[in-house]
Each structure stands twice: as C-alpha cells, then as structure tokens.
Amino acid sequence: MTITSQAPAAEVGAARKRKEDARLITGQTMWTENIVVPGMLHMAILRSPLGHARISRIDTAPALREPNVVAAFSGRDVADVQGSLPCAWPVTAELVMPAHPPLAVDEVCHTGEAVAVVVARDRASAVDALAAIEIDYEPLPVVLDLEAALADGADLVHTDQTTNKAYTWIFDSAQAGTGGAVDEAASGAEVVIRRRYRQQRLIPAFMEPRSVVVDATGDQVTVWSATQIPHVLRFLLAVGTGTPEHRVRVVAPDVGGGFGGKLQVTPEEMITYLASKRAGRPVKYTETRSDSLLSAHHGRDMIQDIELSARRDGTVLGLNVRLTANMGAYLGLVGPGVPILGAFMYNAIYKFPAYRFECTGVFTNTTFTDAYRGAGRPEATYAIERIMDELAVEVGLDPLEVRRRNWIGHEEFPFTTVAGLTYDSGNYEAATDRAKQLLGYDELRREQAARRASGDPVQLGIGVSTYTEMCGLAPSRVLGSLRYGAGGWESASIRVLPTGKIEVVTGSSPHGQGHETAWSQIVADQLGVAFEDVEVLHGDTRTAYKGMDTYGSRSLAVGGFALVNACKKVIDKAKPVAAHLLECDVSDVEFADGAFRVRGTPDGGRSLADCALAVFAAHDLPDGVEPTLDADDVYDPVNFSFPHGTHLCAVEVDTETGRVTIRAYVAVDDVGRVVNPMIVEGQVHGGVAQGVAQALFEEAVYDADGNLLTGTFVDYTPPSAADLPDIVSDRTETPAPDHPLGTKGVGEAGTIASTPAVVNAVVDALRPYGVDDVPMPCTPERVWQAIRNGGGQS
Amino acid sequence: MIPVSFDYQRPSTVDEAVQALSAAGDDGKVLAGGQSLIPMLRLRLSAPSVLIDLGALADLRGIREDGDGLLIGAMTRHADVLANPLVRRYVPLLAQATATVADRQVRHLGTLGGSLAHADPAGDLPAVAVALDATMEIAGPDGQRTVPAGDFFVDYLTTALGPADVLLGVRFPSHEGWGTHYEKFQRMAQAWALVGVAATVRRENGTIAEARVALTNMGPVPVRARAVEDALTGAASTADAIAAAAGLAGEGTRPTSDLTASAEYRAHLATVLTGRAVSAAAGVG
C-alpha cells in the first residue's frame, strides 16, 4: 500500500462510542455467571446469623442426605488447609492481624460470615440443603461502637486477641520536615474550629453480583471470577494454596462494575477453590444481592475529628486530623491502607503550613471494610471541604473566597504540599471561574438572600467543593515506603498481526471503564491504524500475564503511559523495515500521520501494515532485524497525577418536611488531556451519583446485636436516575506534565468532589436556622430534626 | 435467593380457583401480579406450598361502568388503570395514586386487586380505596359477597379475605365533581410511602360540604382521619380552615418507628401532607 493522502483526524480527543457497550448492555457476553464448565457443580454458603458467637457444634452430614447434594463441609473440615485470607497492606510494623479463615472454624466475628457450604448438582438443591446443616452457637458480646471498642476492659471482637485496636498511623509535618507543628499553629491562631464528622458505612453495590467458578480438578487450577484484580488474585492464590504459580490461571471475564468492591481476594473465591478440590469437580458460586450486601466488603465508616486553626482573614495556619476507622472484623486486602491514602489529601488544594494526621484502625463485629470508590480521598475531601465552609462562616467570607485565600496559585506548580506530595499541575482559579459562571453563582446567592428575607418555607442552599485527588496509583517506591505489599507499575503489549491489525494486551483489566475504546483510540493515533483495527485483550492471566489491575484511577495514568511507550517501540522496530522497503537509510525515515516516509518526501510512504507483512514473510529483511514488530512495556510512574476541579451544587430544602431537592449541579473537572470526552463525562456522572448517594441516600446500618438492617435494596437505597439531578459537566484542561498524553485520571473524581458539595449546600440552606451540620445521609427526617433542634456542633 | 419449592396451579374459572384454595387450606397463596409476593418468596419470608395463579381468569381483568361508578377487575394491571379514560373521569384520585406506585415495570405487572389484597400499610392504593368509599367484590366457598373498603383492611398484611376467598373486583362510586388529591412522601423516587394522604373534597358555595381523608402508613391499616374530616365538613374552603383541620391528622393514628422514619416524624408528616393534600383537592393555595 502506497500512502499519499493524510492520515485521518486524531482519535484521541474524539467522543467515540464505546466499542464494548453493545455486548455489555445487551448481556451478550461472558459474565462469570454465564460460564458453564463440563461437570460443574453449584455451591451455596451458610452464613452466621449472629454478630459474634462461638460455634459449639456443627454437623454438615445431614445435608449430604438431601437430594442432589455431592459435598458439604464446614470450617473445621478444612481448618488445616484453608489458610488465612491475605491483607497486603500492613501499614505499621505493630499491626494486629487476626487470622481470617475463609470459613469460620470455632468463632464467628460478624453476621454473614461463612460457616459451612453445600455443593450440589444444581443451585436450588444446594440452597435448600443448607437448612439441613446442624449448628449450635454460643453468643458472645458484640462490639460495634468504635470508641467503646477502644476503651479499657472493652469486650473483644476476637477472643484470641488482647485488643480491638488494629493500628495507629501518624503523619506529622513537623517531623517529616514538610511543615510546622500544629500545636504551635493552634496556640497562635485567632480562630480554631473543631468538628466531628462521621463517614457513614457504605456498600459498594456493584451491578453484577460477585461470581466465581473454580476448576481445580487437574494439574492446572483455573479460576473465573468477577474480580477487579485477576493478577493479584493469581499471585495470592498461588502463594495461599501452595499451587505453583504457572499452574494457576485466573480469568476476569467481562465484569459488571466494582467500585473497589471487587478489589479483594474474597472468602468466597477461596471457599469455591476448596469446594472444587474436595468435590473433584468444577464448582460455581454466585452470590445473591442479599449475600452481597451482607458479606462483600463495605466502605467508609470513620469518625473524623478535625481541628482547623486560622487567622481572622481566613488564612489557615494548621490542620489536625484524628481518625478512628472501622476495619470491621478482619483486615481486608488493602483495608488498613484506605484511610492512609486519605492522609495525603486532607490538606487538599491548600497551602497549609502545618499538618498532623493520626489514624487508629479499630476492629468491630461487622463485615470488614476496604476500598470503595475514592478509598480514603472522598473522606478526606469531605472533611476539609466541610470545615472550610465553617471557617468561611466564622470569618464572614464567601466560601469560595476563603478557599481562594488558601489555595495554590496556578503559577506555583509544581508545588510540594505539607503532606509531602508534589502536585504536578493545576489551575484552581480557572475551574472555579467556569463553575461559577455555569451555575449562575452570584444570581443564586441573590435568590437565596431573597428567600431568607421572605421566610420562604423552601430555602435555597449553595454548596462548594474545590477538590483535588491523587490518581495513577502509584510509584512503586512510594508504595514500598507505605508498607504496601506490591508495586504500582503497569504493562502493555502490542502485537502487530501480519495483515496490520493490532492486538493490545493490557495489564489493567476493565470492569466498566471502557479500556477497549480508549486504548484503541490511543493506539490508532500512535501507530496510524484504524480504530476498528485494534483489539484490546485483558483479564486472562494466560493472555495478559503481567499487570497490577484496575483501581485508584490508574489505568490511563499508568497503563496508558506503558501503552504509548510500547507503541513507540513498535515504531522503532518498524523503522529499519520501512527503510528497507523505501530503499533509504534508516536515519532518513520519519513516521508521521500514520506513515513511514523518507524525510522531506511527502509521497510514497509505507504503512505499518506494509512493515508487518514484510516481517511476516521475512524473505527480505536486512541482516540483524528481528522478524517481528511486537513490543512490550512496563511503566513505573515517577509521581501521582493530581486532577482537580470545582463542583457547585444548589439545593432546595423544604423546611416543613426536610426534603432536599438538588436544583442544579455543576461539575467542572480538570483531568488533564482527555482521550474520550464521552467516557470522561460518563465517569463524572456516575461518580457524582455515588457521591450524592453518600450525601443524601445510602447508609449501611447494624442493630445493637450486629444484624445488618440494610440487607436489601429496599433498605439500602442507592439512587435511581429519578433521584438524581441533571448534571452540568464541563472541563478545564491542564495537561499532566509527566505523562506523554497529558492525562491524569477521572475514575473517582466525581465521587470525591460531590459529597461535600451537596452537604455544604444543605447546611448552607439551613444557616438561618442555626444549623451547622447535618449527619450523612441527610435524610428528610435528619434535616427536619436539625431544623427543629436549631443547633449544630459549634 | 431461591424460593422454597412449591406447587403451581393455574385455574381457568373462579370456581376452580376457590376450590383449589379450599383444598390448599392455609398453605395456599394467590398469585396475582406477583410484584410483592415473588420478592417475599425469594427472600423466604413467605413459603406457601401451593401457588394459585389467577392469570388465566380473563373475567377478572377490565374496567367498566357500573351503576353510578366503575367496576374494576381485581386482575387489572396498574398500567391499564392508568391508561383508562373512565378512571380519569370518575376517580382521577385512583389514577393519580396509581401513577406513584413503584416503577414502570411494576405497574405493568402489578394489579389493583393484588395490591389491595396484599394490604401493605405502606402501599398507596388501600388508603385511596378507603377515601373513595370503594367496595370489594369477593368470591368464596359460600358464594359471593361485598365488603366496604373501610372494613376490608383488618391488620398488617391482613384483610377480610378468608383463606379460600378470591377478590373479584373493586367498585368505585363516581367522584365526578369532587376535588381529589393523593400526596405521597417517600425517601426514594421508587420507594414506598413514608406517609401518604388521599383526600377527597366536595365543595358547595365556597364551603366544604363533605370530605374523606385516608392516611397511608400511619398504622397497620389505612386510617380515616375522622377528626380532619369533621373539622373540614361545613368549613370555609380557605387555607386557614384547612391548616387548622390538617393539624388534627395525627389523631387516632398508630405510626411505627422503623429504619426509614420515626413515629414522631411520621406524625409530623401526616399533618403537613394532609394540609397539602386537602388544599390541592379543594383547589386552595
């Protein structure tokens, strides 16, 4: 093929419809639950109905007499072989790590903990036979309250431990050399504001329930799982079961959402493995929604004690944060580290001179907590953005003005913060100006004043959230310094097929993010091939054997970097081939607009496909040229990336009923350069929905006995489209200086930004009633109570 | 979850249905639209040994004029109630409340009769049936009978239907010329009512001649707000009079405290929502 025309317009930046959506939306794909392996059996799990108890007797034999049952066993039957589920983030050397058996052996420590299983020829038979299992429990004291759990003489979550404290982790800017001492800052301050905020417990509530199929019948162990982390799972399954790693294959087929909830090595995955081993047959387990709400890991659940010291002019002098974080009954895969990720974000976009952070992780008799969209950063952003509003009220400034007096100016980047991170780039002024304009900020403030003056029963509130976050997890050295158990690199491989079609293998496996589309767009531009000619392969450790998986808004920020590097290597490998075809010296070949040309000669170029065919035949290659164009890259980031933005929310509060209605929501996000604006907008919309859900709707509630009261979607209430506002989404673009595409990351931004924007708006509406806080979720009843009590924390 | 195993029967006449229920004794359960029953089976909150599906009883489906009003077959789906011009003419309150039931999918499967027979205190239609002075047509082992809506709802999830009774239809007297309104307050768009208020008002010369007000979820069964009705009857159709009457909405109610709302908050909502419902029904404010 001789190329004379220009290459098509750039793919990066185009709002391409997602190539994976047709199969995902119509269900015409291979979800784990759709997988059928010859001879496969079905497993059902018996779960503890008690929050804390000793198992005094358990007998699974009666279940074996039920129809179609093949196997039944309890934790005692596998106690010697089941091991303990891994925690990969022991944040301190002194961390208390109770054993976490997949099946409880002698003691259950939370409601919903797995105690026994039945394996049967069909799912219904397995579920029915659970009733035949005989089990006696001796109830033990249930520990639920975080502060009571830490008191002397408290009942213990695990009877074989001596404390309910998992760890205390401290950062102090005076000790780190990144700033001053908070006590000195507070003693010299004109204004000191102290607040206690509660991050209620949330449930990730991904759309596709977790499902796993394990075939451990031969030399090879194959695991299909609805997981975010096939590579981490493979490694830990090999280590945990003693199976040689090269004989473990993990496949994450299409996965229907995760939000961090599938960033876990789950009890259910291990139990299904044990069941397949014992039954000698492939075994499937698919959870119900009720199982999922009860036993898949939960998120958030912290008490935040915040002290902000400032001058009367609104300049912040110091920030002191004390967290009490609920770990639940066990330590999840990265659970202890979740609050620590937030430690670097409480200072947010501001130039605070002194900062101290102390987090104590606490065990309770509840489902264990772990990563949930944003993981530590939404909690931090909530606390700082809420208390900045309190500072604004205290010193009599507009909330945006008090922020402006403290934020990092756009000319000050790169900026090393009091928490020790170096923010790469940003323009808070531009994003805020744009958001104000889109909302009609000044006009709404006038309307608010009018409604206050007239005593309108429907009051207007305007909420502000100027956020940043750290994306692109993560430089491996930083992870090492935080005692995380793995690195933060990512991989990409390009296979150039003989006809010039491209296969891309990515180590970060999507569960809804749209990798196939975005990766195709990038590769199309880099290699000068058509978008449709790129296939993206992922999720199967046999195909994509190297990866760190998908979480922490890392895929594009880290994996995208590796992808661009791999593409560049392909071009470098193709150049000698192209030179040979063009009959020129390799130093005279340039690649631009999808073609290799002799420098200064616009016509007569050769495409990558020409080179691919040439290396396939390999009849006529220069000496020493390897007959392939394939290339791999593994990239370890040098820094995080720091997207930011300004979200503004206007709410109407019906003061007679307490109902909050979001009237307008504006999200201006700066996520660096954008590969696909439609995907970015989708991430913002979904993220805002989840953040609004924390502000107004969702909470996982236990009763005094440790029973989960919010065990169905009737009681645990994620919003539907009808509960959510129209979202005005816009962007400013400050490129990431360290990334070849200038991209930053967007997977969590909306969730991080929106929760404080909404609650700030609710509180703003109620200021005339003396209200300075409404606990989340701000249900109509809580809002009504706040108005009635006419008080707050101050 | 997977329901406990059960037998399934699909009778083709009402007599067969009654016979099947009689034979099943206390272990039988009628399946109408299934929008409440199936989730309860799946959660194993209900475990009947026989399900008797009324889906084949075509006579129980449909809406027709009947004397001074409408007769609506028990198996008529919510969506068909909503689409019917006779309903909008004679009992627009029913259409308005039905539009708030759950979501579109539920409204295309759920039935009027199923909703009333289930008698969930948080369901919208029981209070509407009471406010509209509806009558239930019932077939049972001893033949047919009618029961006024006010006597039909006996207790939490319990009605005047015996174990072998089948609800055939509901008779709604015409409310042409009345003002009516259903005011529903729920936390989520597609959730049950925390509290709902069905108000019907007949005005004569600027005064309220007659009013019926029924409350959803203010007790185990729909509650007639008699004190409100008495205060409204003969009162001027003004915002002040309505506000004064609405303040009595909590009288005689037994709201519960649960995860979604406290009894105290429900009692407060009842007064606010009654004021709004009656005002809207009376065209005031």
Identify the band that residue A8 occupies on the pLDDT scale cut at 50, 70 and 90: low
Test A781 with B1 for CB contact under 8 angstroms.
no
- Give the amino acid at A420: G
Chain B residues with CB under 8 Å of A709 CB are 259
- Cβ pair A169, A358 in contact under 8 A: yes
Inside any domain, residue A189: no
Nearest CA in chain A to B103: A722
Test A128 with B1 for CB contact under 8 angstroms.
no
Separation between Cα atoms, residue A509 and residue A491, nearest integer Å: 11
What topology does CATH give the domain B7-53? 3.30.43
Chain B residues with CB under 8 Å of A659 CB are 185
User: Out of A123, A717, A781, whose CB is closest to B2?
Assistant: A123
Does residue B45 sit at the A interface (CB-CB below 8 Å)?
no
Chain A residues with CB under 8 Å of B273 CB are 657
Is A714 in the same domain as A570?
A: no
The residues of A whose Cβ lies within 8 A of any Cβ of B are: 123-124, 127-128, 288, 290, 656-657, 659, 697, 701, 709-710, 712, 714-715, 717, 719-720, 722-723, 779-781, 784-785
pLDDT at A593: 85
Exposed, middle or buried by CB within 10 Å (0-12, 13-18, 19+), for A453? exposed
The CATH number of the domain holding residue A323 is: 3.30.365.10
Separation between Cα atoms, residue A450 and residue A779, nearest integer Å: 26
User: Out of B188, B259, B260, whose CB is closest to A719?
Assistant: B188
Chain A residues with CB under 8 Å of B194 CB are 780
Is A581 in the same domain as A658?
A: no
Q: What share of chain A has pLDDT > 90, as a percent?
A: 96
Q: Which two three-digit tokens encode residue A445? A: 């403030």
The class level of CATH for B61-173 reads: alpha beta
pLDDT at A1 over 70: no
- Kindly state the greatest CA–CA separation across chain B: 61
- Cβ pair A667, A727 in contact under 8 A: yes
Inside any domain, residue A13: yes
Is A626 in the same domain as A689?
A: no
- Cβ pair A368, A327 in contact under 8 A: yes
Chain B residues with CB under 8 Å of A715 CB are 259-260
Test B191 with A717 for CB contact under 8 angstroms.
yes
Is A402 in the same domain as A345?
A: yes
Separation between Cα atoms, residue B252 and residue A681, nearest integer Å: 52
- Between A and B, how many residue pairs show a Cβ–Cβ distance under 8 A? 51
Average pLDDT for A452-481: 95
DSSP A350: B
User: Out of A127, A710, A717, whose CB is closest to B188?
Assistant: A717
Test A124 with B5 for CB contact under 8 angstroms.
yes
Separation between Cα atoms, residue A373 and residue A387, nearest integer Å: 22
Positive or negative CA dihedral for A312, A313, A317, A319?
positive
Is A493 in the same domain as A458?
A: no
Does residue B189 sit at the A interface (CB-CB below 8 Å)?
yes
Nearest CA in chain A to B265: A781
Is A704 in the same domain as A734?
A: yes
Q: Which of A635, A670, A689 is the last residue of a domain?
A: A635
Question: Chain A closest CA to B102's CA: distance in Å?
Answer: 11
Test A720 with B189 for CB contact under 8 angstroms.
yes
Torsion over CA of B142, B145, B150 and B151, rounded to 10 degrees?
-20
pLDDT at A233: 97
Separation between Cα atoms, residue B245 and residue A356, nearest integer Å: 57
User: Out of B190, B259, B260, whose CB is closest to A722?
Assistant: B190
Is A221 in the same domain as A311?
A: no
Question: Chain B closest CA to A312's CA: distance in Å?
Answer: 40
Q: Which two three-digit tokens encode residue A333? A: 């895969």
Separation between Cα atoms, residue A499 and residue A153, nearest integer Å: 72
> How do strand A631-635 and strand A69-74 relate by DSSP bridges?
unpaired
Q: Which two three-digit tokens encode residue A36? A: 């059928």
Per DSSP, the residues of A591-656 read EETTEEEETT--SSEE-HHHHHHHHHH-SS--TT--S---EEEEE--SS-B--EEEEEEEEEEETT
Which residues, listed in sequence order, are joined to residue A316 by a DSSP beta bridge?
A310
For A729-761, how does the pLDDT look when each residue is reduced to its tens digit (9 = 90+)?
999 999 999 899 999 999 999 999 999 999 999
Could you list the beta-strand ranges (E) of A660-748: 660-670, 727-731
Test B262 with A781 for CB contact under 8 angstroms.
yes
3-state secondary structure A324-364: EEEEECCCCCCHHHHHHHHHCCCCCCECCCEEEEEEEEEEC
- Cβ pair B194, B219 in contact under 8 A: no
For A185-204, how does the pLDDT look when each residue is reduced to its tens digit (9 = 90+)?
999 899 999 999 999 999 99
Is A446 in the same domain as A367?
A: yes
Nearest CA in chain B to A719: B188
Could you list the beta-strand ranges (E) of A226-354: 248-251, 283-286, 299-310, 316-328
Is A238 in the same domain as A107?
A: yes
Q: Which two three-digit tokens encode residue B135? A: 């009558």
- Cα end-to-end distance, chain B, whole Å: 49
Q: Which two three-digit tokens encode residue A534? A: 């790129």
Question: Chain B closest CA to A458's CA: distance in Å?
Answer: 14
Question: Chain B closest CA to A720's CA: distance in Å?
Answer: 7
Among B120, B259, B262, the residue to mutate for chain A (most A Cβ within 10 A)? B259
Test B2 with A781 for CB contact under 8 angstroms.
no
pLDDT by 10s per residue, chain B, length 285? 789 999 999 999 999 999 999 999 989 999 999 999 999 999 999 999 999 999 999 999 999 999 999 999 999 999 999 999 999 999 999 999 999 999 999 999 999 999 999 999 999 999 999 999 999 999 999 999 999 999 999 999 999 999 999 999 999 999 999 999 999 999 999 899 999 999 999 999 999 999 999 999 999 999 999 999 999 999 999 999 999 999 999 999 999 999 999 999 999 999 999 999 999 999 997
Test A712 with B190 for CB contact under 8 angstroms.
no
**Domain of residue A614, residue span:** 2-28+489-635
Test B2 with A722 for CB contact under 8 angstroms.
no
Q: Which two three-digit tokens encode residue A41? A: 């059996």
User: Out of B103, B190, B265, whose CB is closest to A784?
Assistant: B265
- Cβ pair A260, A300 in contact under 8 A: no
Q: How many residues does chain A have?
A: 794
A27 dihedral zone (left: phi>0; alpha: psi -120 to 50; beta)? left
Chain A residues with CB under 8 Å of B192 CB are 714
Test B188 with A784 for CB contact under 8 angstroms.
no
pLDDT at A5: 44
pLDDT at A7 over 60: no
For A493-505, how does the pLDDT look when each residue is reduced to its tens digit (9 = 90+)?
999 999 999 999 9
User: Out of B2, B260, B262, whose CB is closest to A127?
Assistant: B2
Inside any domain, residue A721: yes
User: Out of A288, A712, A781, whose CB is closest to B265?
Assistant: A781
pLDDT at A325: 98
Does residue B246 sit at the A interface (CB-CB below 8 Å)?
no
The CATH number of the domain holding residue A90 is: 3.90.1170.50
Residue with tokens 């009051």: A459
The Cβ-side half-sphere exposure at B57, using a 13 Å CA radius, reads 26
Nearest to A473 by CA among A463, A464, A482: A482
Chain A residues with CB under 8 Å of B190 CB are 720, 722
Is A88 in the same domain as A136?
A: yes
- Among A36-50, A200-214, A597-611, A706-720, where is mean pLDDT lowest? A597-611
Nearest to B92 by CA among B179, B169, B170, B150: B179
Question: Chain A closest CA to B191's CA: distance in Å?
Answer: 7
Test A290 with B5 for CB contact under 8 angstroms.
no
pLDDT at A3 over 70: no
Among B36, B106, B183, B188, the residue to mutate for chain A (most A Cβ within 10 A)? B188
Test B262 with A717 for CB contact under 8 angstroms.
no
Chain B residues with CB under 8 Å of A722 CB are 189-190
Positive or negative CA dihedral for A365, A366, A367, A371?
negative
Cβ neighbors of A514 (< 8 A, separation 6 or more) are: A18, A20, A676, A679, A682
- Cβ pair A760, A399 in contact under 8 A: yes
pLDDT at A791: 64
What is the tally of structural domains in chain A? 3
pLDDT at A594: 86
- Cβ pair A106, A52 in contact under 8 A: no
Average pLDDT for A255-281: 97
Is A330 in the same domain as A402?
A: yes
Does residue B268 sit at the A interface (CB-CB below 8 Å)?
yes
Test A719 with B1 for CB contact under 8 angstroms.
no
User: Out of B5, B188, B272, whose CB is closest to A657?
Assistant: B272
- Cβ pair A643, A670 in contact under 8 A: yes
Omega prior to A756 cis, within 30 of 0: no
Nearest to A312 by CA among A190, A495, A195: A190
Is A673 in the same domain as A611?
A: no
**What are the angstrom distances between the C-alpha of A525 and each of A12, A537, A675, A717?**
7, 18, 11, 43
- Cβ pair A554, A746 in contact under 8 A: no
Alpha-carbon radius of gyration of chain B? 19
Chain B residues with CB under 8 Å of A714 CB are 191-192
Nearest CA in chain A to B4: A128
Identify the band that residue A792 occupies on the pLDDT scale cut at 50, 70 and 90: low
Test B265 with A290 for CB contact under 8 angstroms.
no
Per DSSP, chain A holds a count of helices (H) and strands (E) of: 21, 29
Residue with tokens 């999922």: A292
Test A128 with B5 for CB contact under 8 angstroms.
yes
- What CATH number has the domain spanning B179-282? 3.30.390.50
The complex's ipTM works out to 0.96
Test B185 with A656 for CB contact under 8 angstroms.
no
Question: Chain B closest CA to A63's CA: distance in Å?
Answer: 16
The residue ranges of every structural domain in chain B are 7-53, 61-173, 179-282
Separation between Cα atoms, residue A585 and residue A592, nearest integer Å: 17
